[in-house]
Amino acid sequence: MALEVNGKSYETDEEGYLADLNSWDADVANAMAEADGAPLEDNHWEVINFLREYYEEYQIAPAVRVLTKQIGKRLGKEKGNSKYLYELFPYGPAKQACKYAGLPKPTGCV
């Protein structure tokens, strides 16, 4: 499968995750979010950027519990809870945010 954004083609798997994380850019993240009916705002980007940094450092997408704890540490307790993260990413913070970040599905994802 492939996703077309601004004339550029991005290879994806059957669930819509990017096949090659190096092909990721902000345009494809925005296009995925718009297709899901909820355009990305700054709060979303904080989480997406965190996930990309985490992957860069540890070579994995963190499970939702790890994500929640790390977001709390880096962005403050008011953001490090599932209620906040599920409001931003109603399809599941780890799964949906990882998809927008161009990462594979999280290890031990819930």
Partner 1 sequence: MSEQAIIKKFMYVNRKSPYGTIYALESLEVVLITAAFDQDVSLVFTDDGVYQLMKNQNTEGIGMKNFSATYSALGDYEVKKVYIDKESLEERGLSLSDLQELVWEDEDEDYAEKSLINLVSRSELSEIMNNQDVVLSF
Contact residues: partner 1, CB under 8 A: 57-60, 62-66, 69-70, 73, 107-110
Name the token pair of 78.
Answer: 């008011």
98 is catalytic: no
Nearest residue (CB) to partner 1, 54 versus 100:
54
Degrees (nearest 5) of the Cα angle 21, 101, 32? 105
Cβ contacts of residue 55 below 8 Å, gap of 6+? Answer: 21, 61, 101, 103
CB of 35 to partner 1, least distance (A): 28
CB of 64 to partner 1, least distance (A): 8
Give catalytic residue positions: 109
